[in-house]
Amino acid sequence: PRTLHASFGFAAPAGEGHRLWDPLKGGGSLLDQGVYPLALADLVFGEPETVAATGS
């Protein structure tokens, strides 16, 4: 393989008090979701020589 396109998601609990919605508690998608597609890419390709990313 030369390219990997991966996504991962889950239903986040509602409520402003939950840590997922609080930046001071490390909330956000990168902590809870971002690592899984990266781990898959590492398993498939090994350690990268370069890294590039885009977001929206």
Predicted confidence at residue 46, as pLDDT, reads 92
The distance from CA 14 to its chain's CA centroid, rounded to whole angstroms, is 20
Over residues 39-56, mean pLDDT: 88
Q: What is the pLDDT of residues 17-28, one digit of tens each?
A: 787 777 787 766
- Average pLDDT of the chain is 81
Q: Residue 15 pLDDT > 80, yes or no?
A: no
DSSP 16: T
Over residues 2-24, mean pLDDT: 79
